[in-house]
């Protein structure tokens, strides 16, 4: 293990995360649905009424989240992204929804979403314009924060387009304070580091004090190349970003694209497994009205969600890479460990991986209990540090498992129960 990785592991296991934004929100990674990757900026409701950015889309997604078990699985936010507003503010300088596509307004939509036992998210931008050219919040931070509070919005995704990068920190901090000032609990999703990384290493202490989660890298696309690029970036910057994550504030590698068009099922399993290992927000961008049963089952897999939402709140990290395998490990509560083994080879068939080579396997001294979660659930039973357990991993697929240490005491087996 390299000195840098050893330091990262020690920081992750021993040190509390830096001080979080004190709004009582995002104590576990956020779960919900966000429109952008699947529906983008489709405003043509005349020819494509089922897929355009309109109140109807969000109401239907809220309906499906209740009807098909998403809410019960833990997904609670229905989030609007860019392209919802009118191109002009109202006479009082407030943002307003496009009147044709949102005839009832955002407050009515929020009431509808709340009636389903869900929460509503909305989108704005720190600069003069949003990324798609709609009115930004520059010069209107307090006005917009109060508008969102008056509408009973529960989450704000605050983008970083159309502002000089040196002003990003000031803008994000001002909006954070403005949201707090309203007195309403509004989860604050930032993109501050995404727009600062091209120029300098962001100050993650300040970011965590300001935001509930934050994007670091490029937008996700519906492709395996995109997923791999996000994983590569995260691993290569993990010494900077992993220590900042914890209850109240999380690194956001962007949306889950499971259930769309570009990923094989093995690749969908890889995204789900590794987003759970990274303690990432689980924000789906797909069409819940038309999703294949296998993708639905994966997204609602309670054992993966339990890893994602583990109360210890430690982000995982890549601990090893070689022979076209990557190993990612995440410390869990009660001294447990989650391990994801990713097969990067995209040719041939399943390949074997000796799990005893994983750094965290030392928790199996003297014994441990192993549960395989992906590609299919299986109790692997009691293992030892010397066990010759071989995992079979499909090309571009991932084996996900949990390891629970046990100890022998006077002939009886006891689960180790320390955090």
pLDDT of the chain, 419 residues: tens digit per residue: 444 444 454 444 444 446 889 899 999 999 999 999 999 999 999 999 999 999 999 999 999 999 999 999 999 999 999 999 999 999 999 999 999 999 999 999 999 999 999 999 999 999 999 999 999 999 999 999 999 999 999 999 999 999 999 999 999 999 999 999 999 999 999 999 999 999 999 999 999 999 999 999 999 999 999 999 999 999 999 999 999 999 999 999 999 999 999 999 999 999 999 999 999 999 999 999 999 999 999 999 999 999 999 999 999 999 999 999 999 999 999 999 999 999 999 999 999 999 988 999 999 999 999 999 999 999 999 999 999 999 999 999 999 999 999 976 533 444 454 44
pLDDT at residue number 18: 63
272: Cβ–Cβ under 8 A, 6 or more apart, which residues? 256, 258, 298, 299, 301, 304, 374
CATH architecture for residues 31-309: Alpha-Beta Barrel (3.20)
Spatial distance between the Cα atoms of 384 and 239, rounded to a whole number of angstroms: 30
pLDDT at residue number 22: 85
Query: Catalytic one among 68, 219, 232, 239?
Result: 219
pLDDT at residue number 357: 86
380-392: burial string, b at 16+ Cβ within 10 Å, e else: beebeeebebebe
Q: How many CA atoms lie within 13 A of 246 on its CB side?
A: 21
Neighbour tally for 412: CB within 10 Å: 7
pTM: 0.94
Domains 31-309 and 317-405 share a fold: no
159 catalytic per annotation: yes
Q: Which of 65, 188, 164, 187 is nearest to 118 (CA)?
A: 65
Pairing outcome for strands 119-125 and 77-79:
parallel
Q: Mapping DSSP to helix (H, G, I), strand (E, B) and coil, where does residue 252 land?
A: strand
User: Domain spans of the chain?
Assistant: 31-309, 317-405
Query: Catalytic one among 98, 144, 159, 222?
Result: 159
Task: Count the helix, strand and coil residues of the chain and give each as a percent rounded to the nearest 5.
Answer: 35, 25, 45
pLDDT at residue number 7: 44
219 catalytic per annotation: yes
What six digits make up the tokens of 141? Answer: 């931070």
pLDDT at residue number 407: 77
161: Cβ–Cβ under 8 A, 6 or more apart, which residues? 125, 127, 129, 130, 131, 136, 195
CATH of domain 317-405: 2.60.40.1180
What six digits make up the tokens of 68? Answer: 């098909």
């Amino acid at each position: 293990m390299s000195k840098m990785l050893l330091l990262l592991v020690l920081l992750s296991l021993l040190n509390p995360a830096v001080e979080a934004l004190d709004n009582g929100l995002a104590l576990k990674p956020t779960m919900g649905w966000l429109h952008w990757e699947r529906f983008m900026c489709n405003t043509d409701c005349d020819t494509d009424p089922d897929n355009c950015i309109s109140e109807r889309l969000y109401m239907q997604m809220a309906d499906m989240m209740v009807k098909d078990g998403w809410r019960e699985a833990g997904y609670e936010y229905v989030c609007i992204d860019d392209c919802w507003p009118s191109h002009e503010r109202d006479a009082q300088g407030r943002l307003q929804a496009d009147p044709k596509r949102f005839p009832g307004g955002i407050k009515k939509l929020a009431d509808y979403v709340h009636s389903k036992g869900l929460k509503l998210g909305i989108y704005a931008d720190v600069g003069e314009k949003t990324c798609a050219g709609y009115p930004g919040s520059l010069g209107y931070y307090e006005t917009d924060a109060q508008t969102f509070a008056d509408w009973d919005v529960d989450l704000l995704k605050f983008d970083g387009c159309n502002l000089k990068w040196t002003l990003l920190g000031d803008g994000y901090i001002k909006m954070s304070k403005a949201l707090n000032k309203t007195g309403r609990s509004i989860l604050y999703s930032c993109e501050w580091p995404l727009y600062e990384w091209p120029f300098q290493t962001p100050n993650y202490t300040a970011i965590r004090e300001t935001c509930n989660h934050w994007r670091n890298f490029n937008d996700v696309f519906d492709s395996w190349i995109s997923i791999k690029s996000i994983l590569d970036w995260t691993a290569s910057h993990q010494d900077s970003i992993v220590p900042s994550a914890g209850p109240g504030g999380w690194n956001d590698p962007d949306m889950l694209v499971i259930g769309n068009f570009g990923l094989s099922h093995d690749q969908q399993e890889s995204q789900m497994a590794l987003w759970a290992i990274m303690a990432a927000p689980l924000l789906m961008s797909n069409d819940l009205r038309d999703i294949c049963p296998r993708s639905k089952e994966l997204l609602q897999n309670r054992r993966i969600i339990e890893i994602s939402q583990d109360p210890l709140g430690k982000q995982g990290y890549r601990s090893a890479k070689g022979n076209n395998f990557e190993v990612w490990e995440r410390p869990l509560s009660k001294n447990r460990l989650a391990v994801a083994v990713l097969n990067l080879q995209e040719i041939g068939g399943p390949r074997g991986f000796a799990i005893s080579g994983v750094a965290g396997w030392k928790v199996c001294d003297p014994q441990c209990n192993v549960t395989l979660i992906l590609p299919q659930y299986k109790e692997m039973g009691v293992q030892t540090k010397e066990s010759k357990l071989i995992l079979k991993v499909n090309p571009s697929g991932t084996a996900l498992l949990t390891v629970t240490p046990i100890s022998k005491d006077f002939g009886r087996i006891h689960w180790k129960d320390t955090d």
